[in-house]
Structure 1
């Protein structure tokens, strides 16, 4: 063996040793740069603000900046597709909610939750069946009787293919109401629905504390039923759906997702940072008092089970929705 060959072999062995030693170190060093958090909605809405608040706290535990990037468009699918196609290295995540599954069920995209690696559920904003103060309905349980007595005349507002569209489909199923007996009225956004309810153009709409809290407090709107397993602290007198014999829990469930194939240790690192952030009392207080939402942190198998159950319920509801209508 020549001297040059020996030197090459020694160099190769040294490089291999360095590579072996560097492997775990590289894995342990994540993240080494900022993480982009894609929000598939425009700035200023509840989803945007809540994720920004959580990210600002989570980055203190992650050790690197988490940079929110608004990427609205195409019914919130422009941002989700961007993350779907991003490198699975943990440096790009999606901050979204049920719209991932809703867009798939409505035929807008060909992917759903299973196209991503779930990182963590962070908050839920509980949905509330509501009406105006002068309406004869006093509770959600009154709605079914009104529909039976006035088939085709009771008006329900919704944003097509949105959370509230699915809310009503699931409510009708739980309350024994046929979709053929109701009149669905579509609006572009929540603001239009609120204006329509104030003008008495509709009978019922779906609100939450961010969109309806001030109206409940002023007495202009009436909360008929809270779709949660317990009464809300901010609405202690409003009964739950279950208290009225309606088996329905419904919320806008916000979570973090990574591209499919992201190494599990990186997913776990991200989840740990968000989990630590949600243990901050000041942050929890803001989420609950300013945004009428609850902190609910799930990761790993628990979050996957939640997504599976969520998708199952939405899929059943989709069977009762005419997306072309």
Structure 2
């Protein structure tokens, strides 16, 4: 067959575009992060992402007093995953300063900043957000800050014997109904507590993701719903009703010594130990008893509905802080009797001003 004397005809069906979709070298495969980019002048990294109920519908199953919040466990996941890019994935400390509200509609843009190595291997970390449609110059709200470390602590002993010896089974049938009545709106994805046992001051539990979320676990270091469900066992470590003591319900406030030993778990064996009125520690293992993660300390803090409303926008950065009076030891006088060193100063002025006060007290 003779070839035609004209050039072969062809037709393109691909769209021509000069608009960059971003550098694929910075893209990460993570359900909450889109990319992690390096910061040249600090040697740190910046993780970015977008949160919405359309993109992450499972977040709708985590509400507090009717408000959808990003779980504190998700802030931990964000910090650890971003820090992993610079080999600092152990969370020495993460203080949650304000809950991150996920709106019913719209998108929240997040940034996770991991800073310069301090010289000891530690790096600062912070998580920020602002609405995706915010005007230029709109300030970012800082939701959490802390430190990451390259040191990975040795995992706790494996839970090879399960259920633990001498532990007493506890009925968990009505737990989620009780929690909903107290303001914790856990939907199916977060109702992961399956069984609980108690032994002295230790609480043991089994938690698991629902079948529809099991495949998603592979994308996380530790799925936030799974870690959050492990915390639900804390309801059996202290008397019911303590959540209302300060006029609010308790949320994670300060995480310390969080280390991830294995990733992608969809079920856990949990050992939870109460370490104080507002604190606990956790050891987490997989279904075979192999270590998955450990939390040296988690401090909980009471939050009111008003604080949750304030935290939904800029300026809510102190929503979980509170003012307290601290007592000071008084110094005894020379005779060892009573309080010494106290002098009453009078300002001889009909109109007290700063200058008059400074002259007397100086």
Which TM-score band applies after superposition, normalised by the shorter structure?
Answer: under 0.3
**Larger relative contact order (Cα-Cα within 8 Å, sequence gap ≥ 6):** 1
Structure with greater proportional strand content: 2
Computing the radius of gyration from Cα coordinates, the structure with the larger value is: 2
Q: What TM-score do the two structures reach when normalised by structure 2? A: 0.20
The structure that is helix-richer by fraction is: 1
